[in-house]
């Protein structure tokens, strides 16, 4: 037996490569209707373009969330909304983190937004899910820092206005036991976990020949120190773990919808704007992504390229 053929076959089994289309933007209306009737679950993948070392495509976070959501929908049913590649960065603790881990680069290649813009967009995404009549929506962020805790808070705040049952998470929450069997490496930044996941999902977006020599000092465009340990097969196993977690979560949400039979629907733009004013604006200033400094962080020096957008502007 030819080795190459065998490994392709195994990979097909591992990652449910059955070609059923689940990506909303690539589906015909009849396919969308059928998928909706079979399983009224929608996934919203979030990420951005952000420094992830010299060996990963910059869109890692969004690609990872999108790829995992697609595998989950192919395996367990549901539809995957177009991924949102614009996410929170360049201000607050993200600027401090960047100063340390990216450094004084000429171009950041970020695709970022401030928190109030991102979370408003999320509200509009939820409106679309509810207006269509999905019973469940899973919001999956591949980008870390504390944005996922704010996203969970947002979901709590808006759930009373929404019929679809909502759940949000950073993908690492679904990555159990993670890279190491001891369960400690569910997530990292451009290290062995993220690199392995991207490698499994989109092999053309990882190139380990671009890794710097391990003795070379430097920030290496925010590369994780463990990137050298990346392993595509472990990446495939972690994808399967995340897919299993998401499938269970989707089932729980569908059951909750059946039980609660919610009557409310977020239908109009006006309702979204009113909900935003009523439920979100009063506490937006408490969001972690809205704090200039996170615990144990030092201010960004004024001569850094990360200084200009560091401080969260006052909103009135």
Binding residues (CB under 5 A) for Zn ion: these are: 61, 194
- Cβ contacts of residue 300 below 8 Å, gap of 6+? 95, 96, 99, 306, 307, 310
Q: Provide the minimum distance between the beta carbon of 40 and Zn ion in the complex, in angstroms, as a whole number.
A: 30
Under 8 Å between Cβ of 48 and 9: no
Q: Provide the minimum distance between the beta carbon of 50 and Zn ion in the complex, in angstroms, as a whole number.
A: 6
Q: Provide the minimum distance between the beta carbon of 48 and Zn ion in the complex, in angstroms, as a whole number.
A: 9
> Residue 46 or 257: which CB sits closer to Zn ion?
46
> Residue 187 or 247: which CB sits closer to Zn ion?
187
Q: Provide the minimum distance between the beta carbon of 218 and Zn ion in the complex, in angstroms, as a whole number.
A: 19
> Residue 194 or 242: which CB sits closer to Zn ion?
194
By Cβ distance, which residue is nearest to Zn ion?
61
**What CA dihedral angle connects 148, 149, 154 and 157, to 10 degrees?**
150
- Cβ contacts of residue 238 below 8 Å, gap of 6+? 175, 178, 179, 193, 196, 197, 200
> Residue 61 or 150: which CB sits closer to Zn ion?
61
> Residue 166 or 222: which CB sits closer to Zn ion?
222
Q: Provide the minimum distance between the beta carbon of 52 and Zn ion in the complex, in angstroms, as a whole number.
A: 6
């Amino acid at each position: 037996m030819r080795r190459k053929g065998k490994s392709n076959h195994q990979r097909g089994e591992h990652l449910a490569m059955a070609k059923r289309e689940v990506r909303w933007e690539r589906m015909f209306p009849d396919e969308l209707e059928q998928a909706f009737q079979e399983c009224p679950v929608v996934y919203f993948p979030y990420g951005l373009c952000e420094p992830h070392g010299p060996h990963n495509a910059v869109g890692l976070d969004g690609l990872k969330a999108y790829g995992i959501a697609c595998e989950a929908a192919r395996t367990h049913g549901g539809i995957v909304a177009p991924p949102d590649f614009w996410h929170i960065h360049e201000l607050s603790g993200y600027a401090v983190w960047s100063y340390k881990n990216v450094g004084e680069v000429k171009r950041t290649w970020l695709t970022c937004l401030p928190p109030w813009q991102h979370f408003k967009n999320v509200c509009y995404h939820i409106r679309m899910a509810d207006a269509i009549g999905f019973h469940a929506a899973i919001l999956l962020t591949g980008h870390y820092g504390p944005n996922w805790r704010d996203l969970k808070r947002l979901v709590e705040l808006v759930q009373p206005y929404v019929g679809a049952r909502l759940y949000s998470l950073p993908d690492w929450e679904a990555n159990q036991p993670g890279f190491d069997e001891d369960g400690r490496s569910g997530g990292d930044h451009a290290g062995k976990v993220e690199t392995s996941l991207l490698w499994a999902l989109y092999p053309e977006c990882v190139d380990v020949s671009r890794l710097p020599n391990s003795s070379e000092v430097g920030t290496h465009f925010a590369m994780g120190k463990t990137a050298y340990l990346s392993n595509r097969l472990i990446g495939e196993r972690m994808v399967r773990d995340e897919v299993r977690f998401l499938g269970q979560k989707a089932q729980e949400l569908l059951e909750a919808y059946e039980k609660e039979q919610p009557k409310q629907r977020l239908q109009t733009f006006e309702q979204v704007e009113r909900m935003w004013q009523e439920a979100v604006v009063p506490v937006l200033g408490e969001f972690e992504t809205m704090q200039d400094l996170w615990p144990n962080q030092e201010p960004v020096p004024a001569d850094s390229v990360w200084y200009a957008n560091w401080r969260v502007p006052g909103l009135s």
